[in-house]
Structure 1
């Protein structure tokens, strides 16, 4: 990227996205714990748990993609 100011602004925004990604993952982990029975460690509702497992996988993809973009932007900064 030729415009260094724009590059810095994009990196700053990506940092906000990264923080938000991790906050979302924390919330998903909390929901996952709430959906697990304390008595025997099984899911309280298999269908809902499957949806949250899928959402967690998608969130992990978003985290990985954000990290890849940040690495690329960091290389551009050098």
Structure 2
């Protein structure tokens, strides 16, 4: 888990992130949609003002070369098959 921060000037993108936040709550992922002020503060290293953003402090990344074999083993253990 490394968290994530996305900043934007695009209203449509911000709307999509609000929908993501709503979904994330249902699966236990803490996600905050940031106001322009909050996004600008979190992104101050960019030297820009932002319309908004999304911050998910507990989110993470997955390396496909490590994640896929684990998922495949789980599928096989549950009785499924995996085909390349």
TM-score (norm 1): 0.32
The structure where helix makes up a greater share of residues is 1
**Higher relative CO (CA 8 A, sep ≥ 6), structure 1 or 2?**
1
